[in-house]
Amino acid sequence: MALLDIHTHTIGNPKGIFNGLALEKAKPQPFSLGLHPWYLKKDWKLEFFHLERHINHPSLYAIGECGFDLIKGPSTDLQLKVFIQQATLAKRFQLPVILHCVKGLHLLQQYLKTHTDPPFIIWHGFNQKVNIAQKLLIFPIFFSFGEALFKKGSNAEKWLRICPLDRIFFETDISDKNISSIYEQASLILDIPVKTLEKQVGKNWKQISKRGIK
């Protein structure tokens, strides 16, 4: 079964978008590349140049993960500045953004208010309150669900139950669970066959990217 894993740190899954350029250790597979807020430095422009150099790589499927983290990261001004640069690059090359957002909702909202034509954004590992997600539906934002779905009553579970199906993705991230188990858990929550979810996620990907994942 070809289940798309929108965000993984595991090398070797041809249907998983690997976070980071470490393809020297693996066969070519879809990957994302971005400047994570945890590791932003004053010389971030050098890393951004590295990102730009790989923008036309045939296996680059998304920019990220990038975004905001107020628990572990530099100043909010720097985080916002670097995110805007990456989002602008993503829009220019028609690539989706894989969003990392920890206590940085206000920064995301600030970006969305000042940029009327943002790229498609996938909030990875979404586990926020339902009302937060609902307010974001007016923007081209998608929600990727992962291990949090196994915690009964989690915000992720609550939002998945009512989230429009054309806005959902699934991921393994850094968990030891495989993508099949994530889809199966979502299937149980929604009472929808895994095959139906697989097709829906495939449609969602085609909606936001011209780069097909075989």
CB burial string 96-123: b at 16+ within 10 A, e below: bbbbbbeebbebbebbbeeeeebbbbbb
pLDDT in tens, 165-195: 999 999 999 999 999 999 999 999 999 999 9
Say if residue 43 carries a ligand binding annotation: no
pLDDT in tens, 103-134: 999 999 999 999 999 999 999 999 999 999 99
Rounded to whole angstroms, the Cα distance separating 11 from 59 reads 13
Query: What is the pLDDT, as a whole number, of residue 27?
Result: 53
User: What are the sequence ranges of the domains in the chain?
Assistant: 5-208
Say if residue 7 carries a ligand binding annotation: no
Say if residue 117 carries a ligand binding annotation: no
Query: What is the pLDDT, as a whole number, of residue 211?
Result: 80
Bridge pairing between strands 5-8 and 121-123? unpaired
Say if residue 47 carries a ligand binding annotation: no
CATH architecture label of 5-208: Alpha-Beta Barrel (3.20)
Q: What is the pTM of this model?
A: 0.95
Query: What is the pLDDT, as a whole number, of residue 89?
Result: 97
Query: What is the pLDDT, as a whole number, of residue 214?
Result: 63
Bridge partner list, 167:
none
CB burial string 176-213: b at 16+ within 10 A, e below: eebbeebbbbbbebbeeebeebbeebeebbeebbebeb
| Positions of the chain with pLDDT under 50 | 1, 23-26
